[in-house]
Amino acid sequence: MSLVTVEDLRVGFPRAGVRAVRGIGLTVGAGECVAIVGESGSGKSVTARSLVGLPGPGAEVTAARFEIGGRDALRFGERDWRRVRGGFAGLVLQDALVSLDPLRRVGDEIAEVLATHDVVPRAGRARRAAELLASVGVPEPETRARQYPHQLSGGLRQRALIASALAADPPLIIADEPTTALDVTVQAQVLALLAARKAEGTALLMISHDLAVVASIADRVLVMKDGVVVEEGPTGRVLAAPGHDYTRTLLAAVPSAASRGTRLSAIAAGGVALRTPLPPREARGTEPILSADRLTASYGSRRLVDEVSLEVRQGETVGIVGESGSGKTTVARLLLGLLEPASGEVRLRGERWSGVPERRRRRSRTAIQLISQNPLDSFDPRYTVGRLVAEPLTALPRHRRRDRVSELLDRVGLDGDVAARHPRALSGGQRQRVAIARALAPRPDILVCDEPVSALDVSIQAQVLDLLAEIQAADGTSLVFISHDLGVVHHVSDRVVVMRGGRVVEEGHVDEVFFMPREDYTRDLLAAVPTLGRTPGRTPG
């Protein structure tokens, strides 16, 4: 018997004039994992939340059939829904740092479920909370239960969130992007945890933007776009032989080793998505344009970067991969000359870049520019796009700036009328394009990209990566590309540096490092990456 049966579900927000879900059907049975895949705004999260009666303020939900646990959910009152929430369906959201109440102890959050659904009497709740933490693989559960979310690592936090969703032993778990903010190795652990629950007979509804994550765990996939399901079927079939152009475009947009040298934003037509080749890059110089020699940086007594050396040649892309806390971003700041190394030296275009007074550095600052993960944070919110892009153009006479701004916006694929708008009013992809335009304004030799596409949907990520590749081919710009996403790094990089705990674990040509890793850590990292090729039928265990 299926736990959830939905036919022609529609969810609208009349006051906002939004029809988020426009007639979808869905069933989830015991021991089954169904995944809804889609990009932001596709209606996948609203669908998930509607299943526990929390579609959001002002929502109107209608359906031809809407059964939860065999009962007609269209007739549910608030009291019925409260019994469903936590009791019948546990909800696991993204990023436990904000999804757990930051002012309450982890154990109390779990105990709240136990109390609400009367699972155990008051006296036993603290012990049961610790047991639940232990059951999701949290070490020292008694201690952890007394801690606050910010005191736990990202992985432990997410486990605690899962423990709270499991507390009343619901037959269904709804996981909305449960691994999105996590490192790959932690992501693999969390996915294994969910897979284990599934093996015990719990039904799993998984919401994700990441096809690869879904590939490793889901039995069936629904691909959503603009509030409708464009394609659904067994995971293996949908990923291997997609029947809809949108699915093909999505799959083609996932960067990997195989996609090197091709455009990710493929145009799917006539049943196939063809990746067109990127323009070839210029021959590279042999002399490094940027070099770091045994860099060290500390914060208090903690060593953030330890003896890191790397070289970047003209027109080359050097990838830096590592998990959070590995020192990637600190290396970026050292390279940009925003942080002085405690020891070691950075050289830019053959001249000393670290250890010199800012006065001498200022002249060369335009040669190396940053593109960050969240450009909005680096924009003055009062500035228009035009002013933001014109800001670095101080050398240009005023009347020429406007022309240069529209030229730059044109290069990054933005309309000229964007110049008059504020970055807040733009989409995430457009903002990142503005950031790239601004970084390109002073005609830099090197772009340092720190997680430039991590906050973007896969199709938008594809466009931004294509754009960077085109710019690089045309200008011979060098790229330092920092990312936690190994697929992205493999797609863009010529050489790669693997970091862990502030040290370089391994480096070399990207194919050598990723296909024939020498170090165990690199191997573990690569093994943890979910890939499209691995479907549940083929995973060992």
Partner 1 sequence: MTTVTRRAAHVARRGLGGLAVLWAAATIAYAALLLAPGDTVDAIIGDGLDTPRIRAEIIAEWGLDRPEIVQYLDYLGRLLHGDLGRSYLLQRGVGEVLASQLPSTAALAVAAALTGVTLALALALVTAGRRTAFRSRLRALTGTAELVAVSVPPFLIGIVLLSVFSFRLGWFPVAGDRGLASLVLPALALGIPVAGVLGQVLREGLERAVEEPFALTARSRGITERALVARHALRHALLPAVTLTGWFTGLLLGGAVIVEAVYGRPGIGQIAVQAVDSRDMPVVMAVILFSAVVYVVVSSLVDLAYLVVDPRLRESR
**Interacting residue ranges for partner 1, rule: CB under 8 A:** 49, 52, 54, 57-58, 81-87, 89-91, 93-95, 98-104, 112-113, 116-117, 148, 150, 161, 164-165
| Pair of tokens at residue 445 | 């030799």
Q: Give 161 or 252: the residue with its C-beta nearer to partner 1.
A: 161
Q: Give 176 or 506: the residue with its C-beta nearer to partner 1.
A: 176
CB of 208 to partner 1, least distance (A): 17
| Pair of tokens at residue 209 | 């933007």
How many whole angstroms from its chain centre is CA 534?
A: 20
Q: Give 160 or 513: the residue with its C-beta nearer to partner 1.
A: 160
How many whole angstroms from its chain centre is CA 429?
A: 14
CB of 278 to partner 1, least distance (A): 38
210 closest CA partner among 227, 187, 193: 187
CB of 470 to partner 1, least distance (A): 37
Residues shown for the chain? 541
CB of 320 to partner 1, least distance (A): 28
d(CA 250, CA 382): 35
Q: Give 93 or 479: the residue with its C-beta nearer to partner 1.
A: 93
Q: Give 165 or 229: the residue with its C-beta nearer to partner 1.
A: 165
Q: Are 354 and 291 in contact (CB under 8 A)?
A: no
Q: Give 85 or 495: the residue with its C-beta nearer to partner 1.
A: 85
502 closest CA partner among 310, 325, 291, 333: 325
CB of 489 to partner 1, least distance (A): 29
Q: Give 86 or 386: the residue with its C-beta nearer to partner 1.
A: 86
- Neighbour-count burial of 521, counting CB atoms closer than 10 A to its CB (0-12 exposed, 13-18 middle, 19+ buried): middle
Torsional sign, CA 229, 234, 237, 240? positive
Give the bridge partners for 317, in sequence order.
479
CB of 362 to partner 1, least distance (A): 32
CB of 48 to partner 1, least distance (A): 10
CB of 103 to partner 1, least distance (A): 5
CB of 292 to partner 1, least distance (A): 29
Q: Is 159 left (phi over 0), alpha (psi -120 to 50) or beta?
A: alpha
CB of 201 to partner 1, least distance (A): 21
| Pair of tokens at residue 518 | 């020498």
The phi and psi torsions of 480 (rounded to 5 degrees) equal -105, 115
Residue 318 identity (one-letter amino acid): V
Q: Give 37 or 84: the residue with its C-beta nearer to partner 1.
A: 84
* Kind and range of the H or E run holding 474: helix 458-475
CB of 463 to partner 1, least distance (A): 28
CA atoms within 13 A on the CB side of 377: 7
Q: Give 49 or 248: the residue with its C-beta nearer to partner 1.
A: 49
CB of 46 to partner 1, least distance (A): 12
Cβ-based neighbour number of residue 329 at 10 Å: 20
The SS3 assignment for 351 reads: strand
d(CA 422, CA 41): 21
How big is the CA angle at 481 (ends 424 and 356), to the nearest 5 degrees? 95
The SS3 assignment for 180 reads: coil
Q: Are 437 and 389 in contact (CB under 8 A)?
A: yes
Q: Give 299 or 515: the residue with its C-beta nearer to partner 1.
A: 299
Q: Give 52 or 446: the residue with its C-beta nearer to partner 1.
A: 52
Beta strands 288-299 and 65-68 are unpaired
| Pair of tokens at residue 115 | 């109390």
Beta strands 272-274 and 60-62 are unpaired
Q: Give 57 or 537: the residue with its C-beta nearer to partner 1.
A: 57
